[in-house]
């Protein structure tokens, strides 16, 4: 059928690189020439640009999205005896950082429409955790596949109970909810610049956004081994968690085309929805949200058969996430929502992510849609 056609990748960074061309080369060369590789001027410039973009007071660049989550927990002083509510249908890092600081993750189910944390589930879990003698301190909400969680609902619940809300916005930087940008929706927001994320660098990178001056100052210290005013003064036990100057320079170049890329991502998502909505469960965007479309994830019945058909047609696909965290051995001993995690478990069997990047052209995308339609017709029943 599609013999001889090139493979359609999940994310193709080559087109973006060609578009950036000389601008990117110059940005990298400038850093190599000035030589301030650690916390050089590009890091500060990126932090200012991202703060201006989101309207938050502070953006702190750091070494990864995982370390962004970790720095936020460290700044709040989360530790042994503390309980942090996290969704089970997410990437491992969301719960990993909670265990890493010695606290207890408490797994909550997600909504079947948006795949984001179920606010009602958090409410019930707070009661259950307290009844079990545990001490809830906060909630990490994940903006799954690029769509912001229900922060209004979460902050209502959290404020009444004295909990903080941390946004795991590893996939959603650039999205909005109720017209407000991701970064400004929670008490603190962790962003990832992993290469395949919507705003990616050429290695690991991340950032934390917050309006809290004291937390920002603490995280700036924590990312540099807890340094004080002088380099050889320690005021906290920190980490080596800085963002490289080279990565900041690359991100500054990519930021210039990021808004255009977000528009293109939405166009690709719209074409998938138009081509697949009658045949599979396509992603549902809450009316108050925009998404970065970090993943375009459908729910299907005969997933493995469909994946085989896609593979034979040289089309990449991915499964995020094939098991919920509470089912994985390192996390299986932690408390779970009293009502169970039925949605997370079902999604793990049904989700299928399709190729999506700003430069996926219409012909390639119709090849994906055509292949899926043909495969679904033969898989029916
Ligand atoms: C990618 C991702 C992370 C981790 O980001 P890194 O930059 O790879 O450390 C955390 N949470 C979620 C939901 C992610 O998708």
Cα dist. 278→122, 237, 267 in Å? 33, 54, 18
pLDDT at 3: 60
The CA distance from 103 to 160, in Å, is 22
Closest alpha carbon to 189 in 59, 86, 96, 78: 59
Helix axes 41-54 and 13-34, enclosed angle (nearest 10): 130
The number of the ligand 1 atom at minimal distance from the alpha carbon of 193 is: 7
- Asked if 185 and 148 count as a contact pair (C-beta separation under 8 A), the reply is yes
- Is the dihedral angle over the CA atoms 129, 118, 152, 193 positive or is it negative? positive
Ligand 1 pocket mutation, candidates 10, 93, 105, 344, criterion most atoms within 8 A of CB: 93
Tokens 């991915």 found at: 318
**90 ligand 1 Cβ < 6 A:** yes
The number of the ligand 1 atom at minimal distance from the alpha carbon of 204 is: 7
**192 ligand 1 Cβ < 6 A:** yes
The number of the ligand 1 atom at minimal distance from the alpha carbon of 192 is: 7
Closest alpha carbon to 345 in 329, 317, 325: 325
The number of the ligand 1 atom at minimal distance from the alpha carbon of 67 is: 9
**206 ligand 1 Cβ < 6 A:** yes
The helix or strand, by DSSP H or E, that contains position 181, with its residue range, turns out to be strand 180-181
Show the tokens assigned to 170. 């590893």
C-alpha 62 to ligand 1 mean position (Å): 13
The number of the ligand 1 atom at minimal distance from the alpha carbon of 90 is: 13
**189 ligand 1 Cβ < 6 A:** no
pLDDT at 368: 98
C-alpha 154 to ligand 1 mean position (Å): 21
C-alpha 6 to ligand 1 mean position (Å): 29
Ligand 1 pocket mutation, candidates 84, 86, 148, 171, criterion most atoms within 8 A of CB: 171
C-alpha 82 to ligand 1 mean position (Å): 22
Mean pLDDT by 10 residues, the chain (381 residues): 79 96 97 98 98 98 98 98 98 98 98 96 95 96 98 95 97 98 98 98 98 98 96 95 98 98 98 97 97 98 95 97 98 96 98 98 97 84 42
pLDDT at 4: 74
C-alpha 255 to ligand 1 mean position (Å): 19
The CA distance from 282 to 299, in Å, is 7
pLDDT at 377: 83
- Asked if 58 and 50 count as a contact pair (C-beta separation under 8 A), the reply is no
The number of the ligand 1 atom at minimal distance from the alpha carbon of 171 is: 15
Closest alpha carbon to 197 in 205, 189, 209: 205
**194 ligand 1 Cβ < 6 A:** yes
**65 ligand 1 Cβ < 6 A:** yes
C-alpha 319 to ligand 1 mean position (Å): 15
The number of the ligand 1 atom at minimal distance from the alpha carbon of 205 is: 7
Cα dist. 124→74, 135, 141, 166, 337 in Å? 26, 14, 16, 19, 8
């Amino acid at each position: 059928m599609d013999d001889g056609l090139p493979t359609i990748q999940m994310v193709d960074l080559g087109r973006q690189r060609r578009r950036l061309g000389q601008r990117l080369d110059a940005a990298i060369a400038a850093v190599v020439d000035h030589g301030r590789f650690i916390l050089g001027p590009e890091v500060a410039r990126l932090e200012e640009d991202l703060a201006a973009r989101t309207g938050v007071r502070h953006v702190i660049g750091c070494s990864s999205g995982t370390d962004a989550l970790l720095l936020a927990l460290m700044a709040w002083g989360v530790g042994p005896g503390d309980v942090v509510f996290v969704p089970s249908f997410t990437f491992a890092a969301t719960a990993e950082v909670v265990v890493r600081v010695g606290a207890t993750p408490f797994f909550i189910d997600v909504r079947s429409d948006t795949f984001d944390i179920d606010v009602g589930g958090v409410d019930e879990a707070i009661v259950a955790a307290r009844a079990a003698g545990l001490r809830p301190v906060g909630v990490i909400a994940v903006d799954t596949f690029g769509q912001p969680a229900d922060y209004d609902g979460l902050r209502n619940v959290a404020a009444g109970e004295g909990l903080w809300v941390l946004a795991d916005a590893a996939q959603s930087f650039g999205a909005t909810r109720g017209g407000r940008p991701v970064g400004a929706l929670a008490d603190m927001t962790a962003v990832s610049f992993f290469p395949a994320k919507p705003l990616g660098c050429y290695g690991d990178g991340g950032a934390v956004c917050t309006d809290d001056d004291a937390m920002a100052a603490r995280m700036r210290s924590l990312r540099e081994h807890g340094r004080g005013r002088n380099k050889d003064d320690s005021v906290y036990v920190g980490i080596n968690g800085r963002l490289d100057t080279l990565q900041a320079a690359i991100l500054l170049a990519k930021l210039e085309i990021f808004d255009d890329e977000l528009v293109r991502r939405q166009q690709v998502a719209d074409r998938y929805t138009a081509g697949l909505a009658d045949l599979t469960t396509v992603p549902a965007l809450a009316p108050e949200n925009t998404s970065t479309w970090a993943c375009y994830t459908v729910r299907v019945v005969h997933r493995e058969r469909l994946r085989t058909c896609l593979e034979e047609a040289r089309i990449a696909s991915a499964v995020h996430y094939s098991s919920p965290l509470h089912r994985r051995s390192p996390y299986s001993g932690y408390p779970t929502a009293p009502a169970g995690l039925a949605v997370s478990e079902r999604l793990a069997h049904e989700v299928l992510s399709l190729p999506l990047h700003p430069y996926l052209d219409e012909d390639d995308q119709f090849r994906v849609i055509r292949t899926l339609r043909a495969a679904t017709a033969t898989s029916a029943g």
